[in-house]
Every structure is written in structure tokens, then in C-alpha cells.
Chains A and B, each alone.
Chain A
Amino acid sequence: MILRLTHVSTFIGQFHILQDISLEVPAGEVTVILGRNGAGKTTTLRSIMGLAPATGGTISFMGESLNGLPPYAAARRGIGYVPEDQAVFAVLTVEENLRLAMLRRDRAGNERLRFVLDIFPDLAQKLKQKGGSLSGGQKQMLAIGRALVHDSRLLLIDEPSKGLAPIMVEKLAGALRQIKDHTTVVLVEQNFNLASAVGERYVIIDDGHTVQQGLMSDLQADQNLQRRYLGIAAAREGGKVV
């Protein structure tokens, strides 16, 4: 397992958001964290990164504890994080956004940059454009591309499809399929169609607790579980798998 959370507990202010999160992420796969709004999905990712430090339990990455590490130290160990709000640096150009993530300007870094521009050709045409002037979908691509340039062995992506047009979601799904050949991905996603199209494993979180985890194919077949924790059965009947 590349990432293991054991009985993780996290407070944000006085609120006990994560109460008992345990999950395992195998290397080389896409694990999707699912759950209702407010279940604790985003806080789980933020706790792994050290942005919302865990107050209890253990978080280990490649066998080493991440507990107590500041976010930059977690990132230096090879964890990339893409937040849900398409956080690109508006005052920097696309190229500067990408270069910022390259800790070393070596051959491997340049190869990763080329890979990013291959899977997101829209960005290649806008290298000199300011990040703030991109469309929502392009910003999302830039945010993901930046985490990839960083040489992440584990990529945490929070709701990449949020607010995107269906055509952009399809492009994103294509990119995620290419990315998962290079790095392990933990994806928080409300769009079950996207989640099931790219995910190999799932973890369901509800009210700050891990309630179920396993293979995505099992979840796709278990409509009772989908209805109980995800409330998506009705929507899925008319949905299109991307």
C-alpha cells in the first residue's frame, strides 16, 4: 500500500470533522473517495497533505509517517494535491504556474512538463497567457498539470469535475486515464459517472467515518449501497458514463 490512514481524527476549529477514517490506497491504481456533501472527503485529503493536521490516528505514505509534517514536507515526499477550487495562480502565466512546481529544472522535470502538455494540449497553446484568464476547464487542467510536473508519486485530486461543462468532464476523464498509468491517484468526486469510469477502487465516507471500501466494480453492481450512501441511484438511471 502506498498510502494508509488508520483511525484518523481531525478537528477544524471546534468541529470534529473526521472521527474515524481508515483507508488503504494500493500503488498504481485510482482510488475514489465518495460520500455526501459534508461527509469529510475534502478534509481527508487536506489531512493527508497536512493542511488540516490530523489530531489522532496515523497517516503513512510509502511506509513513513506523515503525521505532524507541514504541507511542503508532505509535497517533497512526492504527494501532489489539486484542490477543488481550480486554484491556479492568476498573476502567473501558464508556463510560470507549471515551472513553479518543478523543484529541479532537470531532464526528468522537462520530460514531465512535456507529458503534461501532451495530455493537456490546450495548455501548450496558452503558455504565455495569465492563469487568471483561462476558462474553468483550462484552470482545472493547469492545476492537475502543475501537480504532475511536481513529480508526484501520489496525486490527491479534489472534485475535478465540479462546475465544468460535460465536454470538459469528458476531456478530464481522458486525461485521468492517461495519468493513472504514471502515478497513483486518490480522487474525491461527486460525479459517479466520472468516478466509476476512471476508478478501480472506492472508499465511502459518511459523517466523518469510513463506512465501506473495495473494488469499484463491486460498488457499480451494488445499487443498494449507492442509494444508501451516495443518493445517486435515481440520477444514474438517466446518466451517461463518460
Chain B
Amino acid sequence: MDVFVNLTLSGLSTGMMIFLVASGLSLIFGLMGVLNFAHGSLFMWGAYAGVWVFARTHSFTLALLAGMAAGAMVGWVMERLTIRRIYGNVVAQILITTGVMLVLNELLSATFGPNIIATTVPPLLAGSWAFGNIVVVKYRVFTIVVGFLVALAVHFMLSRTRVGIIVRAGVENQEMVQVLGINIRQVFSLVFVFGSALAALGGVMMAPAIGAVNSGMGIENQMLAFIVVVIGGMGSFLGSALGSVIVGLAGAYTAWFFPEASLAVNVVLMALVLLLKPNGLFGMGGE
């Protein structure tokens, strides 16, 4: 029982961490259909900015804000210079965002160097609680709480606010939204910037969990993010949240009970879901 509880907590925490990376991609790729291969780079810019600010200020709150600001700023420049011209053009999106990924990664390497930069969990969130044989790591609880709050906030934004209604309508029929007097391109730009900030938030949160930032962390986590968006279903934000939790739990259980399969479990899960439900768990069509 203790093992099961520990594994579940660990899986939930990993799932929420994956969700924080995937939440921005869920908006940008899942909802708006922009195939952004530079998402991992935005995540990495957030991670590096967070580590840099945390090292100087020792404030994790400032690190979170700085990371998100960096992601938003890079996302805004990226949208203005490239994405804006290629909405709806998937081939151009693949080529151009791959190019942007290379540029952003090289810029980081040129600024911070190619070596790993170590970081630590903020003192307030360090350590763990023990309940018998059950060990609850504080930072893992923090990631679960932050992931849950982000999921709730974005779900509320998409389903209850005017901006959310415009986004869902714009995904379905941009032309009709425009003839209602709404500048949908402007709204999509804002969503892209917001998605970029979420990717960066994932980066800031991930850095203390793995104890360092490195130039390969973007591409690794980007693949996971794409997997959970596909599992959850294109266009479904809550689907991505659930997909992240499933991937996190499957990873934790497999690593304990069947370690040989732990590397393949994510891809097997995605293949299974696509075989049974080709549109993902929650298919097309928003919340």
C-alpha cells in the first residue's frame, strides 16, 4: 500500500510537471493548430531565466515571474516575426519553427555556455514529510498544486470568459469571428504569447526538480508535451491535463513494476489511445 501511495504521488507530480510543459502547447498546437517545434526552446528560455534570477535574488517567486516574462517576450517576438505569417500553413510551420528552435537554442548556449547549470529547490519547498513509510516530497506537492491551479485557471478562461469564447469560435471559423467585429489575429497573437509564457513556467518549475538546466532539456520535454496533447485530444485543454497525469502515473508504475518497459511506455500509450480513439481521449472541439 505504501509503495502504491508513493508511486501515485510521484506519478501525479511528474504528470503535473509534464502538464506545465504541455499546457502552453495545448493552446498553441492543440487549439490553434500551430505546429510549434520551438516550444521546447521557449520552455528552456523560461528555465534558464528562472535559474539566473533565482541565483541572484534567491526568490523563487521572482524566478517564476522572470521566467514567464522571458517566455512571453520571446514568444511575442517569434509570433510577430514568423508565426503571424504562417497560420494555417503546416509545412511552413514545421520548417520555420524548427529554424527558430535552432536559433533560440544557440542564443541560450552563446549566452550561458554549453555546460549544465546547477540549481536547487527553494528552501521553503525543500525537504519532505514522512507519514510512516510514505514520503511526501514538498516540491512535488508544490508542482501538483501549481499544475492543478494552472489547469483550473486556463479551463475557466477558455470556458467562461469572453476571450475563451472568442478563441474557441476563432479555432472553428476565423472568418465568422472577424465579421462580428473581432480582430481574431490579435486574439491569436495574445494566445500564442500566453502559451509561450506557460511553456516558460514549465521550465522554471522543472529546473529545481531535476536540479539543473541543460541545453538538451527543451527537446526531451517537447516530445513529452506533444505526446500528451495527442493523447488528450487536439483542442481539449483538460484532455491534455488528463493525458499528462496518465503519462506521469504510467511512467511511475512501469518504472517500479516493469522497469524494462519504462522507456517505451509513453509511445505505447499514445499508440494505444490513437488505435482506440483516433482523435485522442477528448477529440476535437474544445472543452
Residues of A at the B interface (CB closer than 8 Å) are 49, 51, 70-72, 74-76, 80-81, 83, 87, 89-92, 96, 99-101, 103, 146, 150
Q: Does B169 contact A (CB under 8 A)?
A: yes
A89:B179 contact, CB within 8 angstroms = no
Given contacts A71-B178, A75-B178, contact A87 B173 (CB under 8 A): yes
Asked if A92 and B165 make an inter-chain contact with CB atoms under 8 angstroms apart, the answer reads yes
In the complex, B65 has a CB within 8 A of chain A: no
Known contacts A89-B173, A92-B169, A99-B165: A71-B286 contact under CB 8 Å: no
User: Of the candidates B162, B169, B181, B184, which one forms a contact with A89 in the assembled complex, judged by CB atoms under 8 Å apart?
Assistant: B169
Among A72, A81, A89, A150, the residue within 8 A (CB) of B172 is: A89
Contact of B285 among A74, A76, A91 (CB under 8 A): A91
Q: A72-B184, A87-B173 are in contact. Are A92 and B168 (CB under 8 A)?
A: yes
> Is the CB–CB distance between A100 and B180 below 8 Å?
yes
Q: Which of A49, A100, A150 contacts B169 (CB 8 A)?
A: A100
B57 within 8 Å of A (CB atoms): no
Q: Considering the chains assembled together, what is the distance between the CA atoms of A146 and B181 in angstroms?
A: 12
Q: Are A81 and B165 in contact (CB under 8 A)?
A: no
- Asked whether, in the complex, the Cβ of B180 is within 8 Å of the Cβ of A96, the reply is no
B172 and A90: CB pair below 8 A?
A: yes
Could you tell me the distance in whole angstroms from the C-beta of A78 to the nearest C-beta in chain B?
9
Least CB distance, A1 to chain B, in whole angstroms = 22
B175: Cβ under 8 A from any A Cβ: yes
Q: Would B181 and A72 count as touching, CB distance under 8 A? A: yes
Give A101 to B166 CA distance when docked, in angstroms: 10
CB-CB under 8 A from A101, the residues of chain B are 180-181
Q: Are A91 and B175 in contact (CB under 8 A)?
A: no
For B154-184 the 0/1 string (1 means CB < 8 A from A) is 0000000010011011001101111111111
Determine the chain B residues whose CB is within 8 A of the CB of A146 once the complex forms. 180
**Residue of chain A at shortest CB distance from B181:** A75
Q: How far is the CA of A2 from the CA of B168 in the complex (A)?
A: 34
In angstroms, how far is the closest chain B Cβ from the Cβ of A105? 9
CA distance A87 to B285 in the complex (A): 16
Q: Is the CB of A51 within 8 A of B179?
A: yes
Instruction: A103 to B165: give the CA distance in the assembly, Å.
Output: 13
11 A-B contacts, Cβ less than 8 Å apart? A51-B178, A70-B178, A72-B178, A72-B182, A75-B181, A87-B176, A89-B168, A91-B286, A96-B165, A100-B177, A103-B181
**B197-213 contact mask (Cβ, 8 Å, vs A): 1 or 0:** 00000000000000000
Q: Are A91 and B179 in touch, CB under 8 angstroms?
A: no
B165→A71 contact, CB < 8 A = no
Chain A neighbourhood of B169, CB < 8 A? 89, 91-92, 96, 100
Cβ contacts under 8 Å, B175 to chain A = 51, 71
Chain B contact residues (Cβ within 8 angstroms of A): what range?
10 to 19
Which 3 pairs of residues, A with B, have the shortest CB-CB distance? Answer: A75-B181, A71-B178, A81-B179
Cα distance, A180 to B180, chains bound together (Å): 20
CB distance from B99 to the nearest CB of A (A): 29
Given contact pairs A100-B165, A150-B180, a sample of 17 additional A-B residue pairs in the complex whose CB atoms are under 8 Å apart? A71-B178, A72-B181, A75-B182, A80-B179, A81-B179, A87-B173, A89-B168, A89-B173, A89-B176, A91-B168, A91-B169, A91-B285, A96-B165, A99-B162, A100-B162, A100-B166, A100-B182
Docked pose: A150 CA to B177 CA in angstroms: 12
| B115-174 with Cβ < 8 A to chain A | 162, 165-166, 168-169, 172-173
Contact of B181 among A87, A91, A99, A150 (CB under 8 A): A150
B168 and A75 within 8 A (CB): no
Q: B173 — which chain A residues lie within 8 A by C-beta?
A: 87, 89
Nearest CB of chain B from residue A53's CB, rounded to whole Å: 13
Quick one: closest A residue to B179, CB to CB? A81
Q: Which residue of chain B has the shortest Cβ distance to A49 in the bound complex? A: B179
Nearest to B186 among chain A residues (CB) is A72
Residues of B contacting A103 with CB < 8 Å?
181
Residues in B with CB closer than 8 Å to A49 are 179
Chain A residues closer than 8 Å to B166, beta-carbon distance: 100
Question: In the complex, A49→B175 CA distance in Å?
Answer: 11
The smallest C-beta distance from B287 to any residue of chain A, in angstroms, reads 9
Q: How far is the CA of A72 from the CA of B170 in the complex (A)?
A: 13
Closest CB-CB distance, B79 to chain A, in whole Å?
18
**Cβ B176 vs Cβ A75 within 8 A:** no
Structural contact, B181 and A76, CB atoms closer than 8 A: yes
- Smallest distance from the beta carbon of B158 to chain A beta carbons, Å? 11
Report the Cα distance A90→B169, complex, angstroms. Answer: 8
